[in-house]
Amino acid sequence: MTIKAENWIDGEYRGAERWVESNNPATAEVLGVFADATLEDGKDAIAAARRVFDKTDWKRQPRLREKVLLAMADRIEAKQNELVDLLVAENGKTRAIAAAEIASCHSEFRFYAGLTRSTFGRIASLEPDSLLLLKREPLGVAGIIVPWNAPLILLVRSLAPALAAGCTTVIKAAPQTALISAAFMEVIANVEGIYAGTINMVAETGSAIAQHLVDSLDVDVISYTGSTHVGKMIMASGAKTLKRMNLELGGSAPGVVFADANLDMATEVMAKTSMVMAGQMCVALSRVIAHESIIDEMTERLSKRLGGMVVGNGADPKTEMGPMIDNGACQRISKLLAEAGKSGEIILKGEKPGGDLAKGAFMTPSLVRVKNQTVPLLQGEIFGPILTIDSFHDEIEAISKANETRYGLAASVWTKDFARAQRVVDRIDAGTVWINQHLRLYPEVETGGYKESGIGRLHGVEGLSEFMHTKCIGWDYGG
Strand runs labelled E in 323-406: 344-348, 366-370, 386-392
Assign 104 to helix, strand or coil. helix
Strand partners for 138: 468
- Catalytic positions are 248, 282
| Residue type at 120 in one-letter notation | F
Closest CA to 171 of 222, 129, 130, 220: 222
| Residue type at 193 in one-letter notation | G
pLDDT at 278: 98
C-alpha 190/C-alpha 199 separation (Å) is 10
> How does pLDDT run across 66-116, given as a tens digit for each residue?
999 999 999 999 999 999 999 999 999 999 999 999 999 999 999 999 999
Strand partners for 290: 257, 391
Strand partners for 223: 144, 246
Domains and CATH numbers, the chain: 3-249+453-473 (3.40.605.10), 253-442 (3.40.309.10)
Pairing type for strands 7-9 and 410-414 reads unpaired
DSSP letter for 256, please: E
Assign 365 to helix, strand or coil. coil
Ordered mean pLDDT values, 10 residues apiece, the chain (479 residues) = 91 96 97 98 98 98 98 98 98 98 98 96 94 97 98 98 98 98 96 97 97 98 97 97 97 97 98 98 97 98 98 97 97 93 91 95 97 78 96 97 96 98 98 98 96 97 97 92
For residues 438-454, one letter each, b for 16 or more C-beta atoms within 10 angstroms of the residue's C-beta and e for the rest, the string is bbeeebeebbbbebbbb
pLDDT at 378: 81
Please answer whether residues 445 and 274 qualify as being in contact, where contact means their C-beta atoms are separated by less than 8 angstroms: no
Residues whose CB is less than 8 angstroms from the CB of residue 346 and which lie 6 or more positions away in sequence, other chains included: 337, 340, 366, 367, 368
> How does pLDDT run across 382-408, given as a tens digit for each residue?
999 999 999 999 999 999 999 999 999
pLDDT at 57: 98
pLDDT at 342: 82
386: region left, alpha or beta (phi > 0 left; psi from -120 to 50 alpha):
beta
Closest CA to 366 of 377, 383, 351: 351
Closest CA to 458 of 447, 449, 471: 447
Closest CA to 460 of 63, 147, 160, 70: 160
